[in-house]
Amino acid sequence: MTIHEDALIFSGPAGAIETRIDVPAHPRGLALVCHPHPLFGGANTNKVVHTLAKTLAALGYLALRPNFRGVGASAGTHTHGQAETDDMLALIAQAQAQFGDTLPGKTSAGKTSAGKTSAGESSTDEIPLVLAGFSFGGYVITRVAAALAESGQTIERIVLVAPATGHIAGDREYTASPVGSQSLIIHGALDDTVPLANVLAWAEPQNLPVVVIPGADHFFHGRLQTIRDIVRRNWPC
């Protein structure tokens, strides 16, 4: 599949959201991919994020890789996930409006970012939406997913790689929101940044399976192809 990369600036509550976009020839939906912690070098060029975006684009999704606040040309300052969540919701709404005519699920009635028709009724043919994130970006994605679910918007698939939850390295604490059964969770057995035990404790009450990659650390050195293969194997046809 032919994929080309582009760049756009979306508008968030604090100003610009710098975004890389991986565009397949015939997009079937939108995918948002969020990067790790911006105060620890996280950016939309991160190798895990790049791998997720390219994999989702190869599966037919127009994949958006934004920079969080204070990274690259994105405006604002880091807020530990609160304002970043609002930024991602604003980006999704703008992307749905901007690219909706080229994607399946667009209706002539006109939808809001919550997937409603202009008459306020739920749409039955929303633009397919995938959410993905790595580390801190995975934590933000759980918050975005919760907000979208509350608004009534359907999420086709969620992919979380080493999502930050519980007490993690750097004396940081995260309370990741619950996600739906359409979620794919991937973690490294040797992750010493977000302990595997944290993710298992978060996933167990939700009855969510976790795919564990033996020998993988938090940054999945030498395991990017494995992530790509796991996503592909677990993707619905």
pLDDT score, position 236: 86
For all residues of the chain together, what is the average pLDDT?
Answer: 91
pLDDT score, position 1: 67
| Structural domain count, the chain | 1
pLDDT at 119 over 60: no
CATH number at residue 92: 3.40.50.1820
Cβ atoms of residues 159 and 184 within 8 Å: yes
- State mean pLDDT over 221-230: 98
pLDDT score, position 148: 97
Closest C-alpha to 31, from 92, 113, 114, 106: 92
Indicate the angle between helix axes 136-151 and 82-99, nearest 10 degrees: 60
Two structure tokens written together for 217? 């650390």
102 against 68, higher pLDDT: 68
126 against 117, higher pLDDT: 126
The amino acid that residue 53 corresponds to is A
Distance CA 155, CA 130 (A): 6
Distance CA 22, CA 57 (A): 6
* Model confidence pLDDT, tens digit, residues 41-99: 999 999 999 999 999 999 999 999 999 999 999 999 999 999 999 999 999 999 999 99
| Cβ neighbours of 115 (radius 10 Å) | 21
Which residue reads 């994605």 in tokens?
Answer: 141
Q: What are phi and psi of 157, to 5 degrees?
A: -160, 145
Distance CA 163, CA 36 (A): 9
Domain residue limits at 70 = 3-233
pLDDT at 179 over 50: yes
In the 8-state DSSP scheme, what is residue 39? G
pLDDT at 111 over 90: no
Two structure tokens written together for 172? 């940081």
Distance CA 80, CA 203 (A): 22
